[in-house]
Structures are given as structure tokens and as C-alpha cells.
Structure 1
Amino acid sequence: MSYQVLARKWRSRTFKELVGQAHVLQALVNALDNDRLHHAYLFTGTRGVGKTSIARILAKCLNCEQGVSSNPCGVCSACKEIDEGRFVDLIEVDAASRTRLEDTKELLDNVQYAPTRGRFKVYLIDEVHMLSTHSFNALLKTLEEPPPHIKFLLATTDPHKLPITILSRCLQFSLKNMQPEKVVEHLQHVLDSEKVAYEVPALWQLGRAADGSMRDALSLTDQAIAYCGDKLTSQAVTAMLGTIDQDQVYRVLDALVAGQADAVLDAVGELAEHSPDYVAVLGDMLSALHRIALAQAVPDVVDNSQGDRERILDLAGKVTAEDVQLYYQTGMIGRRDLPLAPDPRAGFEMVLLRMLAFRPDGVPAAPQQALPGGGSADGARRESQSAPATSSTEAHSEPEEPEPRQPEAQPPAPEPAVLQPAAPQPEPEPPAPQQPSEMLPPPWDEAPPLDAYESQPVAEPVREPMPEPVRNVMPESVPAPEPAPAAAPVMDTPVAETVVEVAAAPEPANDAPKIPLGQLQTEDWIPLSQQLGMGGVTGAIVSHCELVSCGGGKLLLRLDGEHDTLYNDNHRQRIQAALKTYFGEEIALDVETGTIATETPAAWRERRRLERLAAARQSFLTDDRVQAIVNAFSGRVLEQTIEPVGS
């Protein structure tokens, strides 16, 4: 018997054998079992996802001698003839080769006749978008109101080219691309049945190369069996596909995350031995960085569609989120500019070195290059800057007294610099708070003469601690201005906006005693949530919950329905663990979503913030000194710039 390729030998013959497309199968199975059949079906999707296979299975379901059902027997003459492609009442039409109007008319002339053997006459039109406009127009009326014994099954890879009049007359099913996980799982089943040995990484390479097409995956598997011989190995499949091993990409990423420039260049050297497409390598790196960023944000989102979930999670724990974003952006720009590089490998290496150079901590290691005189470049540079140039004669003489430095003219400051002698002095006591008049700089005629500085050894100026700023206090030496008449005109000069901080009492420290579980009440949830000290997304979820009930070691929380987008069971487990640690006993926690009836911790904090803000603004606006300044200068107070001071 002649050899049959895997793509034809393993074509699905029942709905149970079909891989993926569960959303399409559910609709078809229910329609067949409940006898709610439409007269025209349109299956869309890319190549190799099962459009024609589903249409043939549906034709078997309609014409099986055991009756119409979603499980054809597969042994009757109708089922066998459909599988073998010789059933007289299944008319398969290749629209790409029969695009003319005359072909469509010839096809429709036979619609009026009853089926020869089967229950229905099924027209399977493949690549229906290739029909001409006149052919579509001729098909419209028959497609809308066909005889009861006619079923139309249309398949296309480009539904956008179909007229809207055709789309409105069909039930449309969009088939999805095959995920690499499903492709690898199916390939394992096929190769086990074919008694062919394989390595799982080799199947992952075939699954990714198939790009969502199961037929392409089976065709590539046929090619790999012919290339590899007895066993499909990862190395042989890589050579056959002309791609690079994914492990080499991760070796570059491991060196990049570790910040080791030498390891990065070594990994690139190993990569260069296979003459890779460096643009494609950068694309693989960007894809991995994207999955690392997803793992850091929401670990549950990362699937094993690329066969590297464990490695992605491992890298996500070693690199910061800021570095991931930096690497991704640098790689995107480098991929765009890589064709401009004089050498692809040099351009790729420069992209990786740029990632290291622009890390927040700087380059991973300072360049160390030995100079002719010995020592490193940095050390020689530091010695040349710090050591004064001396001759051989001066090296044995007494060092001269350094010339005293003349003080530079400084602008007036709130506190003049105090020069201390070089001899150690006892630590001075903290200065008493100074009055505003004492903070003013001394007049120039009262300043100490320059000779006073020359009589003392030169030392670095030591500034005493600045006193606490006095807020909203008028200097005693400056008399308060007389209040201006109430009807004074407002100046047209623009007023500079200055944020005014008003001191407010800080929130009490979170050192309240623990609340026993047996005495926990609904109103105790706000202080309890503060004592749990949870942050991040879980802390935000806790702050939008209210305590519904407590008893028998069980707690029921209600989460505000407007803030349940990021909630999942992982957050419930973290909250339960925190409560267990707090109470020191086992807690069964249940979280429901709904409408909040009491005040949540988040609402309590917002209310307290608004109350403190209103009190601070009222205190400032009613202050007599503020009113005096406003009246004296015809000013106005911008309330939105007043903020309370404190936590």
C-alpha cells in the first residue's frame, strides 16, 4: 500500500477526534441533537484549522444511515463513502477553479433534484471568497431559500471578501488558531500511535513553527521524520527548520539579567555559530520579556503555550520590573535600527550592551584598562587628581603652610556660616529656637574682619542645624499693617500660586490591642484591616470589603462590586493567611461580591481625608493674620492650594 501523509491519515472523522474549536462543536452538536439545522453554514479561519474537516463530519452526521445525530456510526456505506471522498450526494466545489458565472449556473441547475442516495444533498464550496461578483449574485436566491433537501457548507480563509448579502444568509463560525500546547499534545498522540520516538522540545519547535495550523504541524512532522530518521531530536529539528534553539535565547537573557557583559558576549558568540537571523532573535527576546512582564504583574496569566512557563517564572523573580521595561523598549528600538548596522552581529551586541549601560545602577562593571605605567585607568586618574606635583628636592623638605582661603562672597542666608577651629571641640548643645528677628543676617558693618579668619587654621565650615520653620507667625519686629478699607480694589497683577501647608494633627499610631476572634464585631473591621498591614492589590481588595458575619471560626466578607475586577481566589487565600496569623487560629474565609451596606476602610480613609482637608482650609481662611495680609495687599487665597500637613 502506498504511503499516506500524516495530514490526510490523521484527519478528524468525528467531532470527538477534532482538536480544539470547542465553541463551534458545541453549537453544531446541539443543533444536530435537537434537530435545529440551518440550511447554510460558513466556516472561516486560517489554513489548517479544520474548516473542511468539520464540513465533512457534518455531512456524515446528516447522511448517516443510522439517523441524523452528532455521532455518526462511521461503519455504514454513507459514512465510509464520505470518508473516502466518493459519496455522490456530497458535492465538493473548489471555488478557486470555478469562479465563472457559467460554473455557478451549472452547479445550481442540479439543486432542484432530490439526493440520489443520502438524506440531504450537501454542497461543500471551499475558498468561496474566490467566486466572482456575478457568481455571488446568481447564488443569492438559492442560498436564501434552498429546497429542504439541500445544505450549503461554505469555507473560506478570507471572510472580508464575501459580500454582506452572502454573510447575512449563513450561520458563520470563526475557527481559532491552534495553540502550541494543543498542537504538541496532538503530535504526541500521533507519534505514539506511529511508533516514532521523539524529544518533547522538538515537538514544541514544530508547534511554534506551525503558527496555529494543525495541518502545517503534521506536514512539518512528516518532514522531520524524513530528516531525523528513527528519532525526532531537538537539535535535528532546529537544523531542519533553520531556526535557533530557544535555550540559546534564554542563555542570553540569563546573562543579561545577571548584568554580566562578558557572559552576554559569550552567549552571542555561541549564537553566532548557527548564523541566526538577529532580527528574529531580538523578536524572540522581546516575546520572552513580554511574558516576564506578565508574570510579574499577574503570574496566573502566564500559560505554557511556548513550553517555557517555569523558565519565565524563574526569570521574573530575578529581574526588576523597571529593568524589564527598559530592556523591552531598548530591544524595540534596536530591532528597528538593526538593518542600519554595518554588521548584524555587531548591531545585536550593541543593543544588548545598551541594555546593560542604561540600567539604573549604571554599567555592570567599570572598565578596567591597564596603563603603561601600571595600575588601572581609574586608579591612575584618581592619583593624578589628588596628589600635588612635587619635585625631587621638595619631596624631602618640610611641607609649607597652606595659604588661607579667602571667604567667597555669599548671598544673605537665614543663618551665617560659623567657622570652627581645627582642634576637636565638645559637641555643642542643640540651639534654642530663634525668634524671627534673630534669623536675619547681620549688617555688613558688624561682620567680623577678614583678619579674624586669618588668625585661625582654615577648616571646612560647619553649619548648625536649622531651626524649625515658624509657620503663619508674623515677625515681632515688623509691625502689622493697618487694615485696608473693605472696598479696596483688587489688583490686576497676577497672583503667584503657592501651596500653603497647614499643620494638622497626625493620625493615631496603629498600635491598638488585638481584637479577640470571639469578640469581633462588624464595626471592628476597619481597625482590624489596618492591623493586618496588607499592601498591593490584596491590600486594596481588603480596603474595599466589609465584614458581614463572624462566628464558629468563619468570616464572611463582602467585596464592593465596583472594585472586584482584579479579585481572584489567590487574594482570598492571602487574606485568610493574614487573618490566621493575626488571630493565631484557623480561619475559614469566604468573600462574596455585592453592594456595600456599611463604611469600608477605603471609604473611612477618604472621609477622614476630606474632613482634615476641610478643617485645614477653614483654619487658614479664618486666621486673623491671613486676613490682615489679604486686606493689606488686596490679595486672594487660592483654596485649592491649601493642604494639611501630616500623614
Structure 2
Amino acid sequence: MSDSLDLGEPPQPAPSSPYRVLARKYRPRTFAELIGQDAMVQTLGNAIRRDRIAHAFLMTGVRGVGKTSTARLIAKALNCIGPDGQGGPTIDPCGVCEPCRSIAEGRHIDVLEMDAASNTGIDDVREIIEAVRYAAVSARYKVYIVDEVHMLSKAAFNGLLKTLEEPPPHVKFIFATTEVNKVPVTVLSRCQRFDLKRIPHDALVAHFAAVAGAEGVAVERDALSLIARAAEGSARDGLSMLDQAIAHAEGDGGVRAEAVRRMLGLADRGMVRRLLSAILGGEAQAALALLAEQHDYGADPQGILRALMETVHAITLAKHGGADPAAVADERAAVDGWAQQLGHARLHRLWQLLLKGHEEVQRAPVPFQAAEMALLRVIHAAELPDPGELMKRIMAGDMPALPAAGAPPAQADPRPAEPVAAAPTLPGDFPALVALLERGGRHGLAQRLHDDARLVGYAPPALSLAMHRPDSDSFVRDLAAALKAITATAWSITLSDQPGAPSLREQDLERERAARQDVLDTPIVRAALAAFPDAELIDHYHPQERKAAS
């Protein structure tokens, strides 16, 4: 029997650390790394330096702008003790002390994070209410971070109110939400609110470039611009797209703009300019061919129309001296050229037609066919003359009316033009307008204007009103339609936030009160009321009315 030699387990390869996505790896660790929120950082810094720290904070904004990251940074700033263990609250937490490291790693016993989306009930809040009575175990402050706080139930909000208004001095609340309109005003009034802005395009591009450099990946500037545009102000969304673009890149050539455009399903910007040029030139066949080409490359028809709208929007802004920071040089040159050629009326008409087409594509069972029909409609409208120019030509007699079916051909010698009927006279003042509606059978609208409308501005055919009671758009639409039917004139009607003049009903009541007071002030009535204290004035005539009646 031979002895066996035990060599033990064969050597194993060292376990590799799991990959961390860029959105987590480059989450801000200090306020200096929090991009695009300088105003909030300055306010928090001043509050900490002056020892004016609120007991509750509310962070609002779209997804990915740094609400939860800011909440954790505030928790670190309030509990940092410095490398020597002697520091106090600071806007620049050291990041090396035990509270800073444990908060960053999400394991600090006194910094509790709760997701309100999955803990919505009063029982979850009751646990917080019970726990706030006890002092922090090892930190300076016990911090409760509640994400998506708008998801709490009504009972949970009500249960939190008293504790939120008068918490113990060792407790701080930090709430984060993307839908601040769903947070009760009773909660809002007890919090110091910070509205985190969408991160500007240039700041996102610079941030993504720094991340790509830290990762050792070459990314084209136009590719970064495309990602920043698609991120819509969200750093987290942009980093997720950059992560995907790096994985999508082929070989060692880096991340190229064309690959990012295909990855995101975006329409090529150069194609968009060629497509808009074909539309403006009335080239239907060329426009449809460009649309089909981009559709074959995977571009979404709705995205193509959106890109056309963005270009029209950029042209309109360029007419007023504005510029798109995300536009490259050749795109900016094309936009400036169109801004000099196209008038405001044509640009607004293009915008409205593209907007309608975008909505139709969104609802259509076959989006590509709906996009084709929308482009054909835009091209057809682009060939029509401007409505203002068309009206001038009609008034000047440059566009004779077509003969009716079966009518004899027009004579060689034109007949003298008949005199144009005078434009209808518009009501001179607001009471006359109300009376006109009453005579026209629009009793409901007339009554509403008489009782509830406060006049802000009257310059026929423009009317500005402030209403006692909130109104839907249907009231303005119905009133405009009624006035147009009665006066044969299109009216511009707006609802204003200004206080306006007293309503006609209020004016009537004030005249009635003044007339009654005139009667009560006459000597004989005063004497009668003094002799008979229980007497009451039931009806009266105004002094002028008494004179007319006699």
C-alpha cells in the first residue's frame, strides 16, 4: 500500500470584481462633483456655515438630476467629523471619516433610506414616528431619506405631519420626488424646498467627456452631443446611454456619432436637413424617399417628425437671435440660412402641421404610413401662398373667383367690381358686448359674462377677462365662436390672472346699494325709522327715478 501525497486544492484564479455601471460608478461623492446645481449648493453651504440648518428638506426635479445623491451628500455634510474626528457640519465632507464612508456605502445605522413606492402605508410611517424619539447611535444627526415621497398614502402623510413640523433636534428629514404636485401642501410648507434643474447640454457633454476619459475610451464630440441631447437633462440617463454606446462600439475605434445615432434610433441630422429642404421645395418624391431610407436604417417615424420640429424650432429661435447649443457647425449654418429666407407665418404653419402629424403618427396603427401622409400634407401646404398674402391678392382682385358648375364662360370684358360691404361695427364697450350676446340669443354666455367676468382689457376684437370661477377652455372657445357668428369677426379672448374691474353684476349691486342709501339718508325716512325702530325699507326708488315717476 503506497502513501498518497495530498497537494491540496489547485490554485484558483483571483475572483474579479463585478462590473459597476457608469451611472453608479460616477455618482457624485462631494458637492463639487454635483453638476448643474450651483444655486442649491451655495444655499446649503451658507445654511451650514451660519448654523441655519432646516429640519426637513425636499428635493424635486426630473429623474437623474441628482435628488437621491444630494440627499446622501447632505447626510454626509451634517454628520462628517473630519479626518481627525473633531470636525463639525461642513459643505465639504472629508469622505474619509467613518460616518462619511459608511453613509457612502449605505450601511450607517443612523442614516435610513426608505423607498416610498414600496412602503406607502401608515404602518411604515408609524415605525419612523416611533424611532425618532431615540437619539442617534453614533452620528450627530439621525437622517431619514424618503425617495419618491409622493407615493405615500394620504393617511401616511397625515401621520407624518406633526413629527415633520416639530421633530426632535437630533432628527433630519430629506424627501425626494419627481412629482411635487402630488405632495400635499401641508407637507411642502414644513420643508425647505430645492428644485433641481435639468442639467444643461454643455455641462452634460463635459461630464460625459470626463467619464469617457477616465474609462480610457475615445468618444467623438458629436457622439457625446447626441447622448446629451437624448438624456434631456438627466445625468443618469446619459451615463446609461454612454455605457451602452461603449459596449456597442466596434473594435478599438472608439464611440462614433453614427453608431450612437443608430443605437438610439435617431434620424440623421444631415438627412433631416435634406428632408426639410425637400419639403420646403415641394419635392414630394424626394421627401418620401428620404423618409423610407431612414426608416430602413431603423429610425422611428415619430422621431423623424420630432427632429423636423426641432429644426423648425431652431430656425424660429435663430430669427430672434437664439442658437441651439447642441448644433454642430454645418447644422448651425443651414439653420441661419433658413432663418433669413423663411418668414414667421410660414415657420408657424410648418410647426403646426408637423405637430399635428406627430400626434397622428403617435396614434396610428401603421406609423410609417401616417408619417408619409403627414409629410405630403406639409408639402402641399408649403406650396400654398401665405394666408395674409392670399387675402391681399383677393382684396386687390388678382384672384378671380372660379365660375360655378354649369355657369356660362366669363365675358371678355370684366364687369365693374361691386362695392365691398363695410365691416360690421363692433360693440363700443363691454356692456354693449354683453347686450349684443343677449340679443343674439346667447343668453347663457351673456349671463356668465354679466355675473362672473371681471374686465381686464377691451380693445375689439381683443378681450381679456378674469373669471370669479375657474373656466375650462370650452368657455373661451364657445364665447369666441358666438362672437364671430354675431359680429362676423374673429375675436382674441384670453383669461388673465389680473384682478380686473368689478363685474357688471357687482356694479349693478353697488348702484342698488347707493340708491338704497340715498333713500335711507332722506330726512323723512330717517325720521320714520327713528319713530318706528322695527320698520324696514322693502322697496325704493332712486331720487332721479322718483323725480321721473312723479
Scaled by the length of structure 2, the TM-score of the pair is 0.61
Q: Structure 1: any 5+ residue segments left out of the alignment?
A: 362-406, 412-495, 498-647
CA contact (8 A) 1:33 1:69 kept: yes
Contact kept? 1:199, 1:233, Cα under 8 Å: yes
8 A Cα contact 1:180 1:306, kept in partner: no
What corresponds to 2:203 in structure 1? 182
Structure-to-structure mapping, 1:67-146, within 5 angstroms? 67-146=88-167
Relative to 1, partners in 2 of residues 1:101 and 1:262: Cα closer, same or farther, differing over 3 Å?
Answer: closer
- Aligned-partner Cα distance in 2 for 1:5–1:185: 19
2:493 corresponds to which residue? Answer: none
Q: Which residue of 1 aligns with 2:264?
A: 241
C-alpha offsets along residues 569-627 of structure 1, whole Å, 9 cap, x if unaligned? xxxxxxxxxxxxxxxxxxxxxxxxxxxxxxxxxxxxxxxxxxxxxxxxxxxxxxxxxxx
Superposed CA deviations along residues 372-393 of structure 1, whole A, max 9, x for unmatched, are xxxxxxxxxxxxxxxxxxxxxx
- Identify the residue that residue 220 of structure 1 maps to in structure 2: 241
Residue pair 2:22, 2:243 contacting (<8 A) in 1 also: yes
User: Match for 2:50 among 29, 34, 49?
Assistant: 34
- Cα 1:40/1:102, change in 2 over 3 Å: same
The aligned residue for residue 309 of structure 2 is 286
Q: What is residue 211 of structure 1 aligned with on the other side?
A: 232
Residue 309 of structure 1 deviates from its aligned partner by 4.2
Distance 1:23 1:275, change over 3 A: same
The 5-angstrom pairing of residues 145-164 of structure 1 reads: 145-164=166-185
Q: 1:148–1:21: structure 2 CA closer, same or farther, 3 Å change rule? A: same
Determine which of 3, 22, 36 is the counterpart of 1:6: 22
Q: How many residues align?
A: 367
With over 3 angstroms needed to count, the CA separation of the structure-2 counterparts of 1:409 and 1:360, relative to structure 1, is closer
Deviation at 1:188, TM superposition (A): 0.8
Give the corresponding residue for 1:473: none
Check conservation: 1:256, 1:356, Cα contact below 8 A: yes
1:357 correspondence with 2:383: yes
In 2, Cα distance between the equivalents of 1:408 and 1:12? 83
Number of the residue aligned with 2:339:
316
Letter in 2 for 1:232: V
Determine if the alignment matches structure 1 residue 343 to structure 2 residue 369: yes
Alignment of 1:164-179 (within 5 A): 164-179=185-200
Amino acid at match of 2:119: R
CA distance in 1, matches of 2:175, 2:285: 58
Work out the CA distance in 1 between the residues paired with 2:169 and 2:34. 28
- Shift, 1:22, TM fit: 2.2
Partner SS for 2:33: coil
Give the structure 2 partner of residue 63 of structure 1.
79
In the alignment, residue 155 of structure 2 is paired with which amino acid?
A: H
Alignment of 1:363-402 (within 5 A): none
In the alignment, the residues of structure 2 paired with residue 48 and residue 409 of structure 1 have an alpha-carbon distance, to the nearest angstrom, of: 71
Give how far 1:219 is off: 1.1
- Give the secondary structure class of the aligned counterpart of 2:136: coil
Contact residue 43 and residue 175 of structure 1 kept, 8 A: yes
CA distance in 2, matches of 1:34, 1:18: 22
Letter paired with 2:159? A
Secondary structure of the equivalent of 1:197? coil
Q: 1:235 is aligned with what amino acid?
A: E
Moved more, 186-195 or 94-103: 94-103
Aligned match for 1:327, one of 350, 353, 359: 350
- Report whether the alignment pairs 1:15 with 2:36: no
Residue identity opposite 1:7 in structure 2? A
Q: Which residue of 1 aligns with 2:463?
A: none
Q: Distance in 2 between matches of 1:51 and 1:323?
A: 42
Alignment of 1:445-484 (within 5 A): none
Deviation for aligned residue 1:319: 3.4
Partners of 2:100 and 2:414 in 1: CA distance: 103
Is the contact made by 1:7 and 1:219 (CA closer than 8 Å) also made in structure 2?
yes
Query: One-letter code of the match for 1:242?
Result: G
1:200 equivalent to 2:226? Answer: no
Deviation at 1:269, TM superposition (A): 4.8
Give the counterpart of 1:273 among 286, 290, 296.
296
Shift of 1:337: 5.3
Does the aligned pair in 1 maintain the 2:279–2:375 contact within 8 Å? no
Bigger Rg, which one: 1
SS at match of 1:107: helix
Q: Residues 102 and 247 of structure 1: is their aligned pair in 2 closer, same or farther, counting only changes over 3 Å? A: same
Pairwise CA distance, 1:169? 0.8
SS at match of 1:254: helix
Q: Distance in 1 between matches of 2:371 and 2:162?
A: 61
Cα separation, 2, equivalents of 1:131 and 1:101: 8
Q: 1:409 to 1:110 in 2, by over 3 A?
A: closer
User: Aligned match of 1:48 in 59, 64, 86?
Assistant: 64
Say if 1:247 and 1:150 are closer, same or farther in 2 by CA, change over 3 A: same
1:449 maps to: none
Q: Distance in 2 between matches of 1:88 and 1:119?
A: 12
Paired with 1:346 and 1:161, the residues of 2 have a C-alpha distance of 40
CA deviations over 1:250-274 (Å, ceiling 9, x no partner): 1212344566666545534533432
Tell me, yes or no, if the aligned pair for 2:288 and 2:372 is still in contact at 8 Å: no
Asked if the contact 1:179/1:305 (under 8 Å) is kept, the reply is no
Report deviation, 1:129: 1.6
Q: Measure the CA separation in 1 of the matches of 2:24 and 2:174.
A: 20
Q: Distance in 2 between matches of 1:222 and 1:245?
A: 21
Letter in 2 for 1:90: V
**Are the structure 2 counterparts of residues 319 and 47 from structure 1 closer, same or farther at C-alpha, using a change threshold of 3 Å?**
same
In 2: Cα distance, 1:243 partner to 1:151 partner: 45
Secondary structure in structure 1 of the residue aligned to 2:59: strand
Q: Distance in 2 between matches of 1:324 and 1:218?
A: 35
Tell whether the 8 Å contact from 1:257 to 1:318 is kept in structure 2 after alignment. Answer: no
After superposition, the C-alpha distances for 1:390-414 in whole angstroms (9 at most, x for unaligned) are xxxxxxxxxxxxxxxxx98999xxx
The structure with more helix, counted as a fraction of residues: 2
Q: Supply the AA of the counterpart residue of 2:71.
A: A
Q: How large is the RMSD of aligned CA atoms in angstroms?
A: 2.9
8 Å CA contact retained: 2:147, 2:175? yes
Shift of 1:206: 1.6
Residue number in structure 2 paired with 1:641: none
**Aligned 8 A contact 1:323 1:359 in 2:** no
Cα offset, 1:62, TM superposition: 0.7
Q: 1:353 to 1:410 in 2, by over 3 A?
A: closer
2:44, 2:33 → 1: CA distance? 15
Partners of 1:143 and 1:169 within 8 A in 2? yes
1:237 shift after superposition:
1.6
Per the alignment, do residues 278 and 359 of structure 1 end up closer, same or farther by CA in structure 2, a change over 3 Å counting? farther
Going from structure 1 to structure 2, the CA distance change for 1:121 and 1:259 (only over 3 Å counts) comes to: same
The aligned amino acid for 2:57 is: Y
